[in-house]
Every structure is written in C-alpha cells, then in structure tokens.
Amino acid sequence: MGWIHKTNVVGTLNMLGLAKRVGARFLLTSTSEVYGDPLQHPQVETYWGNVNPIGVRSCYDEGKRTAETLTMDYHRSLGIEVRIARIFNTYGPRMCIDDGRVVSNFVAQALRKEPMTVYGDGKQTRSFQYVSDLVEGLIRLMEGDHVGPFNLGNPGEFTMLELAEVVQEAIDPNVKIEFRPNTEDDPHKRKPDISKAKQLLGWEPTISLRKGLPLMVNDFRQRIFGNPKTILVGGGATA
C-alpha cells in the first residue's frame, strides 16, 4: 500500500507548494488515525499517539502524520498560513456505497438483507459525526485565526455492536450479524476530546447518530434500489 503513503506525502507537498506560490491559506484534513491505537482516552490534540510504523495500517497512519509534519514545517519556515483538522469517523448521504467504511458497510448490507460484518468481538469503539457538522467545523477553522490541530468529531461513543443495533433500528431489526476475525492493529477505542474546538472555534456537533443515520439510509436506499415512484415518460421522468 505504498501508494497511500506516497499520495499523502507527495500530494501534501504539491499543495503546500501551490499555497506558497499563490499566497493561499492551506487546509490539511488529517485524521484521528494519527493517534493509532490510543493509550489515552478520549484523545486530545496534545497526545502523540500509539502507532505501529510497520503495521498493515501504517501507510495511512504515518502518511497523515508525515503530512502534518510537512504542513507545520512550511508554516514555521516559510510563513505559509495553514490549518489542520483531525477528522474522526464521518457519515452521511452520497458516500460511496461500497467504500469499506463501517457505517456504509452496515447500511448497505442491511438494506440488501445481508448479514452485517463485525470484525473481532465488536467491542471496539468509534465516534460518528454527521457530515454537516464536519463541514461547519471546517468552515469555522478556515475562517478563524488558529492553526490547530483541532479534533473534529462527535464525542458520542459506540461499540461496533451498538452501531449495528442502531442500523437494525433504522432498517430492519431482523438483519443478522456475522462475526469475522479482527484486522491487524485495529484500534480498540476512538473518541475525540473536542474541548479545544469548543473553546477556540465555538464548534460542537449537533446531530446525533440516531438522528443522522436515517438520512443516510434514505439516500442509500434510493441509490441501491432506485426510486420506485419515478416513471420514465418519453425522454424525461415524472414522479
């Protein structure tokens, strides 16, 4: 997976160079994966993380950590205006249906009447924020005066089994769960401390998982099965 690390490093260098040439403010959308399998819970921005540099996930984790290093190097040495956001799990409409992310996986599987795939015992936790909350956080970050990094995520913490239950509530309570062996270096816990974003950006998420997930389910249902109320007439369509 060397191309993942290369994309993060070379892509960030290219965009930092462009920002330098045109005098633009540069936004790095980093990730909670910089914390690795954290030994601190919840994670604050001052925590340096617990990352296996030679593990199967390290190409992404270390790629983003390197991107943060490059961003701060350009900021300190060349005076480039930069902003860094560490984004936690985000979901919402128009996501790729089969992108491999846990929320889209569960929703697509449940809609297709397939068992939801849970890796390991399902007790590992994640925090899920709705996409509009993230967009609001990024806008406030870019319009503000603080470099960051800032954790942007929803502190509501769910185990994978609890997430599966929320998906069952939204789609079909009879959808089954299928357990498979866990993946290597899968973080056990993930939850953002957003005190810094609250204080300096005046930001915190407002949409809970139970409120946001049905909006994503409706979008996935239409794209997987089509809109049954739409009838093609001649060259156009009518509802």
- Other CB atoms within a 10 A radius of the CB of residue 10 amount to 12
Nearest Cα residue to 126 out of 166, 97, 98, 169 = 166
What are the φ and ψ backbone dihedral angles of 177, each rounded to 5 degrees? -115, 130
- Other CB atoms within a 10 A radius of the CB of residue 104 amount to 18
- Return the biggest CA–CA distance within the chain: 62
- Kindly name the residue from 35, 60, 91, 130 that is annotated as catalytic: 60
Run of H or E residues at 19:
helix 2-22
Residues 6 or more apart from 23 whose CB is under 8 A from it?
none
56 close to 93: Cβ distance less than 8 angstroms: no
| Prior bond of 214 cis (ω within 30°) | no
Q: What is the CA radius of gyration of the chain?
A: 20
Lookup result for tokens 């205006």: 81
Q: Report the alpha-carbon distance of residue 229 to residue 239 in Å, rounded.
A: 5
Question: Is 130 a catalytic site residue?
Answer: no
- Other CB atoms within a 10 A radius of the CB of residue 211 amount to 10
For residue 64, the one-letter residue type is K
Could you list the active site residues? Answer: 60
